[in-house]
């Protein structure tokens, strides 16, 4: 019998013990005796990050402040994994009952990953010694073997205890190197102040299966059903304090909170969601909710939901107080935005920032209640990363071109979806042209693939998914390293011979992934093809005025009966990100071009025109943007 009222004092029964003992080999309860019921309050301090995506170096941010001479623009160093380590390790010594959590997507997104397969990330993480880590979808980008390699790197560190790797809804198939290894557990019981509590891991299911490259026989179960099953098993043992550690996105975190019984805290990742005070808007940041977000679970009890944005920019610092029955009495905390103290004026030939001016800036942050935190980077992390930095610098520092504008990244046009991801802030997040037509850099990369396809086999059309392009390109120099940061995955280009009807079906597939699955990364960008789209219509009817660019650079209607030569990445050609029609193009209609996709973009940039050897990377004309007209609708 399952009891859904946490406030009832649970009695263990022989039946519950037998039920628990019948779980599979990977279950957290196998061969473990029942634990006694605690009836004590508990306070936890949870320090957490997510989605650092191999962004290990510090960056910089710009903001405006008045230090007594009128409003000016300043810059300061921000983020960097050494600052993450510095603050986490400091807070761990100052606070009681600390948990250090990483909610997934440690890898993929910077040359550190391309050059080391995640070893640089693992070595940096081992200067913190996280208690738990939940694999994100990008931990599966290089199949299950890539995840296994990353975990092996983590295990080679000097931490006293290995980081617990937790995901309850993933079952590794027989082809996986993680099959029956038990290195990855569904969940884990911890104890603080004599009170046992459980942390349950969840990895986003559909997105990982469709947007990464796990082994074909690795199964991803429904997140809500899996979470409730795990919670119920812990309830049967008398463990009442339940934390979900998820990589499923903020929207699904909120759905989990409201749909489940007995869940108390959710520490999340995946959606790169900035949570924090509205005062951050003054500094070109757009929070999507409060930190922490407080909602009620199915029992009507408080649930605290937290996420820590992206790219080593923030350390989440969450305090949770439970009563003796395991219910949350209160939760509060700070999303510390990590910065240095090297403030500079951005205007040319401006005077240096004096110490009183620096204090005036810090006072403004405090007055605005903006959670900027000056953090001294941890030297140990710097030392660990130094050889990797040297390796990266040698490869990445070569300048190959110049962006003549800020080239904004955006997955989906409009103002309703994924509008806070840009690393350039509201410069791109609120750009009118981006809202109307989508990402500038996504469109350029689609054009780059098309041009490479023309060189190889006379391609007519290219396909690129919006989520496969990971960063904006800021005005100014473009380096080799930036090229590989924008396109960090290990994809290659393929040729597909497709009818116009199959091209249209592919676009409808991709757009349906956005509309019905809320998978913003699947939104299509193409070279040589443009259309109007209306999300309010049914699948098959969302696209109109689909036009293809001919050899004379004129647009004509897509011929549903004509065969077109398509160039795209292997990930999409294999049906990833809901591009299911592409998967059906097989046999003689599919040819491996044998070209790395980031290399194709690099070649495109190197082939651009310019003066004095400087290749100019310009925005494309609006007439060449895939999305000519866009109508959105509210998310489901």
What's the CA gap between 584 and 147, in Å, rounded?
Answer: 28
CATH 3.60.21.10 in the chain, residues? 40-59+81-339
- Taking only the tens place, the pLDDT of each residue in 319-338 is 999 999 999 999 999 999 99
- Mean pLDDT check: name the lowest of 124-133, 483-492, 532-541: 483-492
Provide the token pair at 453: 């396809």
Q: What fold is seen in the domain 398-631? A: 5'-nucleotidase;  domain 2 (3.90.780)
pLDDT over 90 (residue 159):
yes
Q: How many angstroms from the chain centroid is the CA of residue 50? A: 8
Q: Which of 326, 309, 323, 356 is nearest to 196 (CA)?
A: 326
pLDDT tier, 357 (very low <50, low <70, confident <90, very high otherwise) = very high
What's the CA gap between 209 and 207, in Å, rounded?
Answer: 6
pLDDT over 80 (residue 465):
yes
> How large is the average pLDDT for residues 516-535?
97
> How large is the average pLDDT for residues 266-293?
95
Query: In Å, what is the CA distance from 448 to each residue of 25, 50, 285, 498?
Result: 48, 31, 31, 20
- Taking only the tens place, the pLDDT of each residue in 64-119 is 999 998 999 999 999 999 999 999 999 999 999 999 999 999 998 888 998 999 99
The mean predicted confidence, pLDDT, of the chain is: 92
Q: For the chain, how far is it from start to end, CA to CA, in angstroms?
A: 34
Could you tell me if 424 and 474 are in contact, meaning their C-beta atoms sit under 8 angstroms apart? Answer: yes
CATH 3.90.780.10 in the chain, residues? 398-631
pLDDT tier, 318 (very low <50, low <70, confident <90, very high otherwise) = very high
- Taking only the tens place, the pLDDT of each residue in 379-403 is 999 999 999 999 998 988 889 999 9
The helix (H) or strand (E) run that includes residue 508 is: helix 500-515
pLDDT over 60 (residue 2):
no
| 636 CB-contact burial (10 Å; exposed 0-12 / middle 13-18 / buried 19+) | exposed
Can you list the alpha helix ranges (DSSP code H) found in 172-249? 205-211, 223-237
5, 11, 16, 21: CA torsion to nearest 10: 110
Provide the token pair at 463: 């396909």
User: SS3 breakdown of the chain: % helix, strand, coil, rounded to 5?
Assistant: 30, 25, 40
The residues, any chain, with a CB within 8 Å of residue 344's CB and separated by 6 or more, are 74, 75, 76, 352, 353
The percentage of the chain sitting over the pLDDT mark of 90, rounded to a whole number, equals 84
What's the CA gap between 550 and 422, in Å, rounded?
Answer: 33
Helix or strand or coil: residue 520? Answer: helix
Beta strand residue intervals within 217-327, DSSP E: 219-220, 241-247, 265-268, 293-296, 302-307, 314-322
* Residues linked to residue 535 through DSSP beta bridges, in sequence order: none
pLDDT tier, 587 (very low <50, low <70, confident <90, very high otherwise) = confident
What's the CA gap between 439 and 466, in Å, rounded?
Answer: 8
Phi (first) and psi of residue 399, to 5 degrees = -85, 130
- Taking only the tens place, the pLDDT of each residue in 9-43 is 333 333 343 333 333 434 444 445 555 555 799 99
- Report pLDDT for 146: 96
- Taking only the tens place, the pLDDT of each residue in 216-263 is 999 999 999 999 999 999 999 999 999 999 999 999 999 999 999 999
- Report pLDDT for 114: 84
| 443 CB-contact burial (10 Å; exposed 0-12 / middle 13-18 / buried 19+) | buried
> How large is the average pLDDT for residues 445-467?
95
What's the CA gap between 374 and 358, in Å, rounded?
Answer: 11
Could you tell me if 601 and 397 are in contact, meaning their C-beta atoms sit under 8 angstroms apart? Answer: no
Stated length of the chain: 636
- Report pLDDT for 50: 98
The percentage of the chain sitting over the pLDDT mark of 70, rounded to a whole number, equals 93
Could you tell me if 377 and 83 are in contact, meaning their C-beta atoms sit under 8 angstroms apart? Answer: yes
pLDDT tier, 213 (very low <50, low <70, confident <90, very high otherwise) = confident
What's the CA gap between 411 and 525, in Å, rounded?
Answer: 9
What's the CA gap between 268 and 576, in Å, rounded?
Answer: 24
Provide the token pair at 484: 């590989």
As a CATH number, domain 40-59+81-339 is: 3.60.21.10
What's the CA gap between 61 and 346, in Å, rounded?
Answer: 11
- Report pLDDT for 609: 82
* Residues linked to residue 374 through DSSP beta bridges, in sequence order: 339
């Amino acid at each position: 019998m399952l009891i859904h009222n946490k406030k009832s004092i649970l009695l263990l029964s022989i039946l519950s013990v037998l039920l628990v003992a019948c779980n599979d080999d990977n279950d957290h309860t196998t061969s473990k005796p029942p634990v006694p019921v605690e009836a004590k309050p508990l306070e936890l301090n949870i320090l957490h990050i997510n989605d650092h995506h191999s962004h290990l170096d510090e960056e910089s941010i710009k903001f405006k402040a008045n230090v007594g001479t009128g409003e000016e623009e300043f810059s300061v160093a921000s983020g960097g994994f050494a600052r993450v380590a510095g603050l986490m390790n400091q807070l761990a010594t100052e606070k009681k009952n600390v948990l250090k959590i990483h909610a997934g997507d440690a890898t993929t997104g910077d040359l550190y990953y391309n050059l080391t397969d995640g070893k640089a990330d693992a070595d940096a993480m081992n200067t913190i010694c996280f208690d738990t880590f939940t694999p994100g979808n990008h931990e599966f980008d290089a199949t299950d073997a890539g995840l296994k390699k990353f975990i092996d790197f983590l295990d080679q560190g000097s931490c006293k205890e290995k980081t617990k790797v937790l995901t309850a809804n993933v079952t590794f198939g027989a082809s996986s190197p993680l099959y029956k290894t038990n290195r990855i557990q569904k969940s884990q019981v911890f104890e603080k102040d004599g009170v046992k509590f459980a942390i349950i891991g969840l990895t986003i299911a559909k997105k990982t299966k469709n947007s990464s490259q796990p082994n074909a026989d690795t199964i991803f179960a429904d997140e809500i059903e899996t979470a409730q099953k795990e919670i119920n098993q812990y309830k049967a043992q008398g463990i009442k304090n339940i934390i979900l550690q998820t990589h499923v996105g903020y929207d699904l975190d909120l759905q989990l909170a409201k749909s489940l019984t007995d869940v108390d805290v959710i520490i999340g990742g995946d959606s790169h969601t900035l949570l924090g005070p509205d005062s951050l808007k003054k500094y070109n940041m757009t929070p999507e909710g409060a930190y922490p977000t407080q909602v009620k679970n199915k029992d009507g009890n408080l649930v605290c939901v937290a996420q820590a944005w992206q790219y080593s920019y923030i350390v989440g610092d969450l305090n949770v107080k439970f009563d003796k029955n395991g219910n949350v009495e209160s939760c509060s905390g700070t999303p510390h935005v990590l910065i240095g103290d090297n403030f500079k004026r951005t205007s040319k030939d401006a005077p240096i920032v004096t110490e009183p001016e620096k204090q005036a800036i810090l006072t403004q942050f405090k007055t605005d209640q903006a959670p900027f935190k000056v953090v001294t980077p941890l030297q140990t992390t710097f030392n660990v990363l130094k050889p990797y930095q040297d390796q990266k610098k040698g490869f990445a520092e070569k300048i190959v071109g110049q962006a003549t504008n800020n080239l904004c990244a955006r997955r989906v046009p409009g103002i309703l979806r994924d509008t806070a991801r840009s690393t350039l802030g509201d410069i791109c997040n609120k750009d009118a042209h981006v809202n109307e037509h989508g990402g500038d850099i996504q469109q350029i990369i689609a054009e780059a693939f098309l041009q490479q396809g023309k060189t190889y086999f006379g391609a007519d059309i290219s396909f690129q998914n919006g989520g496969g392009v990971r960063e904006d390109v800021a005005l100014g120099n473009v380096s080799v390293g930036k090229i590989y940061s924008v396109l960090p995955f290990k994809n290659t280009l393929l040729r597909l011979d497709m009818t116009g009807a199959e091209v249209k079906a592919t676009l409808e597939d991709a757009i349906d992934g956005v509309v019905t699955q809320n998978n913003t990364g699947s939104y299509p960008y193409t070279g040589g093809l443009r259309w109007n789209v209306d999300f309010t219509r049914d699948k098959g009817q969302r696209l109109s005025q689909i036009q293809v660019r001919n050899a004379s650079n004129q647009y004509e209607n897509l011929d549903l009966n004509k065969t077109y030569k398509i160039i795209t990445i292997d990930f999409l050609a294999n049906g990833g990100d809901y591009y299911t029609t592409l998967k059906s193009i097989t046999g003689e209609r599919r040819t491996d071009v044998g070209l790395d996709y980031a290399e194709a973009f690099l070649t495109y940039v190197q082939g651009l025109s310019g003066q004095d050897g400087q290749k100019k990377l310009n925005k494309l004309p609006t007439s060449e943007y895939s999305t000519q007209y866009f109508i959105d609708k509210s998310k489901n």
